Amino acid sequence: MNIGTNTLYDISTNYTMKLNDKEILVVEDDPISKSLHEAKKVSHEKEKEEKKAQEAKKNNNPDELSEDEQRLVKDLASRDSEVKAHESAHQAAGGGMTGAASYSYQQGPDGKMYAIGGEVSISSPSGSTPQETIKNAKQIIASAMAAGDPSPQDFAVASSARVMEIKAQQQLSKEQEEQKSGQETYKNAANSQENISSEDVHSLDIPA
């Protein structure tokens, strides 16, 4: 098969092969395919820019959101308020036993971040006395149940604090019983000694 000079062979949408005047095979860009490829690339970049512009426009103008998007934004805003109020209630009732609140967020269609979950750490130190432990337990319970709609975790924390309170109450009762028993033992011993002394006095012989 003879191949003449400048004969073209289409091998792809971007390149062509041909033989030059010196019968040397040359591969070069197909200007038409290259032009189409560049046009497609520019179109894709333009679409991306338009999409970004639309998102930015939505962020600046909530009215541009669809009804479903507006409804979602409203729900997220309501959830955000509830979560932050819930954690603030824990902090306010916890005194010095609560730490800083931490939140988990979700981005809305308007580009804003909304809190959808949160937590506040509560320390539960045992007091140096049963009375102090009871006081701490009551503070923890108050903090855990401070929110208007306690979560299962809130109930769990309050339950643990009640166990701590009951144990401290039992310890206090034991100490009080021991103290009372000790006082009675001392009193009985004192009375017994007094009786012995009186008997000794009555039995004394007084010479005439």
**b/e sequence 117-139, b meaning 16+ C-beta within 10 Å:** ebbbebeeeeeeebeebbebbeb
pLDDT-based confidence at residue 188 (cuts at 50, 70, 90): low
E strand map for the chain: 8-10, 15-19, 25-29, 98-107, 113-122
**Calpha distance 138→158 (Å, rounded):** 9
Percent of residues, the chain, with pLDDT higher than 90:
43
Q: What is the pLDDT of residues 140-183, one digit of tens each?
A: 999 999 988 899 999 999 999 999 999 999 999 999 888 888 77
Same domain, 136 and 195: yes
pTM of the model: 0.55
Q: Which two tokens stand for residue 129?
A: 């006395």
Same domain, 117 and 173: no
Same domain, 117 and 139: no
pLDDT at 54: 62
Q: Do you know the residue count of the chain?
A: 208
Same domain, 173 and 143: yes
The total domain count for the chain is 3
Task: Tell me the residue range of the domain where 116 lies.
Answer: 65-123
Secondary structure (DSSP) of 128-148: SSHHHHHHHHHHHHHHHT-SS
Asked which of 123, 144, 166 is the last residue of a domain, the reply is 123
